[in-house]
Each structure stands twice: as structure tokens, then as C-alpha cells.
Structure 1
């Protein structure tokens, strides 16, 4: 006796079931044929989930490994998405220049948890309009000017005394200082390090940044995100709780701006956005894209990105300063020759400090804090070299592979600032394939601010302190990978005050 003998099935039910099975098989065959004939080669995965279960936590390493087998451009299935991964410079520079690859996936970074896109997640004209406004407003409030540099320098002078002791958790100290710089641009003011509002905001964003990956679960299985959050699986509950808490805090800043009496005085990004909203409303323009929900998401994304990348890069810099103390001596020699030990460093000093810049470039390369670029989507059919990229294919730029390519970087696992120096050592040379901020029209808007911060924090620290750790500590260069890649075991550091030198 068969199990079906216990049930009575009507003919229409059999027909519906047969039809669904036929559609499933047909769709599977069509997808398979499409992959075989249109898309680049790549590995097979499992039904429904594709190759996702084999990626593990450090997806950039899996992407790099697959490129060794399938070539620098290959395709794999992740959830319902066909995904093309680009792992070499020759094809990446073509992708950077391809207008077809400026779009984002239809899902948000936190699809299933937060469905309103920030402008970083937008495509087409809404993205272009927000990008224009963001650049305009940020420049008006000092972004990319001496005013911004002065603000960063002021913040650093507040920060330096907090590390002048032994056994310092560097990340815990540097994060609230770096996030103060982006706070000034977004909110119009910095915070005391003990401010309860700021402590809570930093803590929530830090927990989100460590829990989420842009090539992770929410990107390819958005329908699972809410379920996983309810049952506290895969860190979805942490992302859900902390992201909502952070946005609640940021909303309070937006509310404070909305009750300002003089909205013609633009002091920060929130002011500029609200003025743009008002102007569009007065012109009877469609302002569905420029709304308060998008403003909240924009500010949240700016705050997170502006804090995380610089913090993580400086963490790698600290690792290599204690691993190779002689690099501290070389940088300090340039400080002595160019700046001295009495005046504060200026960003223009970098032009006469080639080894310092070479050290920072190498920290960016080997740290590769943004190991996987934010996901792209092909807005229309295109080609990268000889490879077809059909419309709506998701595209991943594995920046880790570019920064570890032995054809570009001899002995890529070795930390060697000299690779960025001219033959006589008089100039630091940044090649186009060092891409810590991505590239093309969707390059990170915060690149200018980040470069100023990296130089000024590093030089100010080494002008005042010698960085050490306990000599019994065995250094580990393992990493953790969330939004950004940072050292997994950065030891407690001692910042030993150095005597002024002539």
C-alpha cells in the first residue's frame, strides 16, 4: 500500500501539481541553459541556495580561490541570483568604466529588515540626484577643504591624550574619535567621548558592522532575514536590533534639525538635505525619493562607512608598526625632517614624506578592509572583455584578489612599503590598481576625508608616541570580516611618550 492510497486527489489537484512541477523543471532547465551559453563558467551549487553554503564567513577568500580554477571572471549561483565575480585588474578597470554596471541590486543591504534604500543602494536617476546633492552639501560644509582638515586636526588633539598610557584597546579609543569627524559633517557638531548618546550610537553601529556582510545572507536570501531575526539565527537579531536602535538615535538628530528656525543656514548634511526637500516641494517637484526615510538611511550609511573604514585601516597600520618597529623610526625620521616635534602636522606635509605615504598605501593594500565591493547589478546586457554579463546579473568586484595578485605585487603576502617608492626613494607612487575605495563613478564619496584622516592620525601618533605591545605577545594577522576587514587579534598597545627632538 502506498502513502497516496490514504488520500483522495481530485483531477484538478493533480493537474495543478503537475503544472507546478513542470514549471519548476522548465525554469531549472532554462536557467541551466542560460548559464551554460550566456554566462561565464563557474562552479555548480545546490538547488535553491546555489553555491552560498560553500562560501563560509570570509567570502572574499572563497571568491579568490574559485578564480584560480575558473579564471579571473566566473559565474556562480547565490540564492536566486546569477552572480559574476571579477578577480583581476584587467577586467576590473573595464567594469569600473562600464556605465551598465553602476546599478545596485533591487534589494537593500538589509532587505527583510529595512526595506527603504539609502542613496548608496539606489540606481539610475535617484542615485545620481542624491549623489549630486551629497557632494554639493558636503563641499559647502567643508568637505575637501582646509576647514575639514582643521576640524580633523582639532579632533586628533582631543584624542591623543586618551592613548597616552599602557595597555590601550586601540580600536575602542580610535573609533569614537574617527566617528566624531563624520558626525561634524552630518550633525554639525562633535561629541564628548563620554556623551551617552554618542557612546550608544557608536556601540550599535559597531555591532552592526561586525555582524553584517554585503555579500551575505540578506543580499541573497532576503526572505530569510526576518525569519532568522525572529529565531536569532546568523546574527540577524543583532543586525535588526542594533540597526533600529542606531536609526532611532539618528532620528533624534534629524528632529533637532527640523525645528531650526533658520533653515537657510546650512551647517551640515542634514540641513542641506532638508533644504533640498523644501525647495523641491516649493517647485511642486516629485519628492518621493527625497523623503525623511531616505534621509535617515543616508545619514546612517554615511556614519557607518565614515567610521568603519578608517578605524579598520588604522588598526592594520598599528599591527605593522609593532611588527616592524623600524618602520616607526623611518616615519619619525621624516617627521623630524619635514615637520619637527613642535608644530602640528598638515596634510600638505605628505608631499615631502614618501615613506610615510608608502607605509599607508601598503597598509591599505594588505589590509584590504573593503575586501568585497558593494554589490553591483547589470542595468542592461553588457560585456566585460569577452565575458557576457546579462541584464540583472549581480556583479561582485573581489578587491582582495586585486590586492593579492602576484602579477601586480611581488610577494603579495609580505608587508613591504618599499613597493610604493620610486627607485631613489624620493617619491611615493600609488598605482591605479590600489583600489581601497573601489573606483569609477561609484567610488566611495568619503575617500578624500579618509585619506586626510589616515595621514594625520598616523603622523600625529608617531610624532608623540612610540607604539609597543607586550613582548610576550605572539602577533597574529588573522582577520575578522564584517562590513570591513580588521585584525582579529590586535593586542593591547602601549603608547610611550617620546621626548621632543631637534
Structure 2
């Protein structure tokens, strides 16, 4: 809908959902407002569904006011101290990637669906940063959590349930309208309870005298220090910790898995790109060692390929709602009151003919100059922009690059049959490829 209205009404327009919601879908307008005036556009509106999910002003994605600033600042600090997205994380990913290759080897050229394997290796990265350790392949906790998250998304993003944001009073008509609110809340409550149980178990083993080895350790130490000073402000409570884990876990799994699945789908649909990536990996990395992040400068075509995947394989069909925290006197010639709902629609830029010729065409060469050097395109923003941009962008990019390169360095990929699976998507709150299987042939 946003794509259609942009072509008809321009880069800024109003949708009635039923509240008036300002959609900004032009790159230059997004930079002027969401980035340069980011503070004013960093609010989150109160919605019925989010209240059902997080049960108050908790978490990292939908938290409001000064608590959100304190929590984001703390999360950024603890992630930096833990080396998230840095060398230590690379070692964790490399170890998990070795196990991924071993699991694919077991298939012996038979068709496989990558998603369950990616759940384990991707889920374990965020699990390590949150809890301080990784799970083994035969442990089911990460898979169970992934299933539960998708169950919640299915319930809360159904068209009927979405009506509750517009007309909350419909909740009183749940039975006659079959909205499924009990199923949605039951699935969500089960996740919150499982995280509460995991946190209780984790607290038994924490040593407050040592430097934190996980996000949870760091948060609990901060809680204890503030309690000692009688200064438990800024939302440092166990309920906040549980919902923050929920947010980080869910964001750190499915979105990354979807991007890698898109990458593999484009790879088999455009076999010439696969051969170019194989040639590049063989020439500059070889097969005797694992790919590392420093190899990016040696792999321009691979980086260009992944940037094109980020452009066309975007995960969020519509960005999360924002709201203005103050009156905005001039937003592209309009005056916006404090509390105005905003959709910063970055995905519209990805298919804007003004920026990309033949935008529906998959063409990694867009990002290579005459010398064959990779040029990063700042107009492609799968991780959002401004004050509400993704906390884990560096980590996500690292996982996508290292896991994708591992898959192509070790295997050639073929369709399950004579024809490659179509690039078709399923859209709910997230946009993902339809399930597919591929054959992996050892190189």
C-alpha cells in the first residue's frame, strides 16, 4: 500500500489506520526528519497489541520516555564491553559455522531445508550474548523458543487481531468475532514465563564480584548496584530484563535467518552469481581456512551480492510505528503535533526508480565501480535509521556475511529439482521466503 501511495501522492502522505499516520517514504525526506531531527521522531505510540505483548512500558523496541534512553544506552554499553559484533563474536560464529557444515554434510546431497539448521547457529549467537553460553545441537531450548516466537507472531499479526489497534473495544467481542485473543495471550504468556524461569535459574550461578560475561549478568549487577544506592530508576527491574531478553532474542533470530534464506534463494535463482562468488572465495580466501570479517575487502562481489539481497530481501514490510515526542514545526512543509504517528518507510526507497534503475531486477553489479570495487549504498537501510535504528546491526551483518560465505565456500547449491524455487514471499509482521529445499554438493 505504501509503495502504491508513494507513486501517487509523493514521498510523504497520510494513512488513516484509523488514526492519521504520516508515512515518509522518500530517502532525502527520511534523512532530514528521521536522522537529522531524530530526537523528535523517536517516540513510540501506545498500541493495544503492544500492551498485550509486553504488558506495560518495558523492553527495548516499544519502551517509551526517559527509561528507553537509559535502557538503550545501557544495552549499547554492555554489548560493547562484551565484544558483541567484534572478534569474540566472530570466534563464536566460526565455531558454530563448523557445526553447520558438519550437519549439512550428513545430508549427502539430499534436499534439505536450511531453516532449522540456521535456527540453531543464529539463535546460539544471541543466546551466548544474553546468557553467556551456547546450546548443543541436541538441546531443544532455542528451537522451542523460535517456534513459540513464530506462534506469537502468527496470532498477533492476523488481520483480525490487527483490528484491535484501531478499535480496542473489539476485544469485548472476542468470541463472536473469533479474534483469537486467548490463544495469542496464552502463547505470549508462555514465552514470558519460560524467560522468567530461565532468569531464575541463571541468577543462582551469577558471581557479582566478577566482570559480567553476558547481558543478563550485566543487567543484574546494575540492578544490585542501584538497589544499594537506593536508586532503582530508569527501569532496571526484573520485568524490564525479561522483556528486554524477549526483544533481543526475537530480533536476533528470525530476521537474520530470513535474510540468509533470501540470500540462498537468490543464489540458486541466479547461478551465475554463485559461480562468481565461488571464484572470488577460491581466489582470495581458499578452502583451507574460514572466512573472517577482514575478508570483506577482498570479496567485493560477495559484498555487492549481499547488499542486493538486503535491498530486495527486506524483512519488514512496514516499519514499526514511531511518534513525535514534540511539536514539529516543519516536516516537509507540514506542522506535526506531538504524538503524531509516523511510519518511516525505508523499504520504499529500496525499490525507488529515482535511485535504482529497473529496481525489481536483482543485479549485484550495481554496487561495483569501474575497478570492480564494492561501493556501499547508504540508501539501503534494512536496519532502520535514526534514534530507533537496530541495536544489533553490526552483529546481524557479521552473521549474515560469515554464515553465507561458509555455505558457499564449502558447498555448491542446487535446486531440489530441475527448476529453482520461485522467489515468493509470505508476509505478516515479517516478510520471508516461502519454505524451500536445496541440495548441497560438497566442493
Per the normalisation by structure 1, the TM-score is 0.82
- Counterpart CA distance in 1 for 2:174 and 2:80 is 39
User: Which residue number corresponds to residue 168 of structure 2?
Assistant: 223
Instruction: Label 1:422 to 1:229 Cα distance change in 2 as closer, same or farther (>3 A).
Output: farther
Q: Tell me, yes or no, if the aligned pair for 1:338 and 1:353 is still in contact at 8 Å.
A: yes
Q: Distance in 1 between matches of 2:54 and 2:173?
A: 14
Distance (Å, rounded) in 2 between the aligned partners of 1:148 and 1:472: 39
For 1:270-307, what per-residue CA distance to the aligned partner results, in whole angstroms no more than 9, with x for missing partners?
11111111111111114372111111110001000000
What is the alpha-carbon distance in structure 2 between the residues aligned to residue 202 and residue 399 of structure 1? 27
- Match of residue 112 from structure 1: 52
Q: CA deviation at 1:82?
A: 1.8
Aligned position for 1:28: none
1:63 corresponds in structure 2 to: 2
- Out of 402, 407, 414, the residue aligned to residue 468 of structure 1 is 414
Q: Is the 8 A contact 2:269 2:420 kept in 1?
A: no
1:424 is aligned, of 367, 371, 392, to: 371
- Counterpart Cα distance in 2 of 1:287 and 1:254: 21
Return closer, same or farther for 1:190/1:225 CA change in 2, 3 Å cut-off.
Answer: farther
The correspondence of residues 389-408 of structure 1 with structure 2, limited to 5 A, is 389-408=336-355
Shift of 1:136: 1.2
After superposition, the Cα gap between the structure-2 partners of 1:220 and 1:108, relative to the gap in structure 1 and judged at 3 Å, is: closer
Cα distance change, pair 474–350 in 1 and its aligned pair in 2 (3 A): closer
Contact 1:213 1:481 in 2 (8 A): no
Q: Which moved further from structure 2: 413-422 or 142-151? A: 142-151
Q: Which residue of the other structure, out of 297, 313, 316, is the alignment partner of 1:367?
A: 313
Structure 1: how far apart are the matches of 2:408 and 2:15? 46
Change in CA separation of 1:412 and 1:261 when aligned onto 2, cut-off 3 Å: closer
In 1: Cα distance, 2:426 partner to 2:181 partner: 17
Match of 2:83 in 1: 142
Alignment partner of 1:322: what SS? helix
- SS of residue paired to 1:110: helix
Is 1:347 paired with 2:297? no
Report 1:117-196 matches (<5 A): 117-164=58-105, 165=107, 166-196=110-140
Is 2:226 the counterpart of 1:285?
no
8 Å contact 2:415–2:421 — kept in the other structure?
no
User: Alpha-carbon deviations, 1:210-239, whole Å to 9, x = none?
Assistant: 554599817723725855776784564553
For the structure 1 residues 380 and 149, does the alpha-carbon distance in structure 2 shift closer, same or farther, using more than 3 Å as the test? same
Task: Indicate the residue corresponding to 1:442 in structure 2.
Answer: 388
Shift of 1:156: 1.1
Distance 1:264 1:222 in 2: 50
Task: Judge conservation of contact 1:167–1:492 (CA < 8 Å) in 2.
Answer: yes
Residues 378 and 394 in structure 1, CA contact (< 8 A), matched pair in contact too = yes
Superposition map of 1:50-89 within 5 A = 62-79=1-18, 81-89=19-27
Which position in structure 2 is the counterpart of 1:309?
Answer: 255
* 1:497 maps onto 2:432 in alignment: no
Partner Cα distance (1:235, 1:431) in 2:
43
**Contact persistence 2:413–2:439 (CA under 8 A):** yes
Consecutive unaligned residues of structure 2, counting only runs of 5 or more, are none
- Provide the C-alpha distance between the structure 2 equivalents of 1:199 and 1:272, rounded to a whole number of angstroms: 25
Determine if contact 1:464/1:497 at 8 Å carries over to the other structure.
yes
Q: Shift of the alpha carbon at 1:491?
A: 2.1
SS of corresponding position for 2:21: strand
SS in 2 for 1:220: helix
**Offset at residue 241 of structure 1 (A):** 2.8
User: Which string of whole-angstrom CA distances, capped at 9 and with x for unpartnered residues, describes residues 165-188 of structure 1?
Assistant: 221112222122211110000111
**Most deviating of 70-79 and 465-474:** 465-474
Task: Choose 1 or 2 for highest CA Rg.
Answer: 1
Farther off after superposition, 453-462 or 236-245: 236-245
- For structure 1, the 5+ residue unaligned runs are 1-61
The answer to whether the aligner puts 1:100 opposite 2:40 as a matched pair is: yes
**Per-residue deviation, 1:461:** 0.7
Root-mean-square deviation over aligned CA pairs: 2.2
Is the CA contact 2:223–2:232 (under 8 Å) kept in the aligned structure 1? no
CA apart distance, 1:378:
0.6
Distance in structure 1 (CA, Å) of the matches to 2:233 and 2:241: 12
> What's the secondary structure of 1:76's corresponding residue?
strand
Count of residues in Structure 1 that have an aligned counterpart in Structure 2: 434
Range that drifts further, 222-231 or 117-126: 222-231
Separation in structure 2 between the aligned mates of residue 260 and residue 452 of structure 1, nearest angstrom: 30
Q: 1:438 to 1:235 in 2, by over 3 A?
A: farther
Correspondence 1:256 to 2:201 = yes
Cα distance, 1:451 vs. partner?
0.8
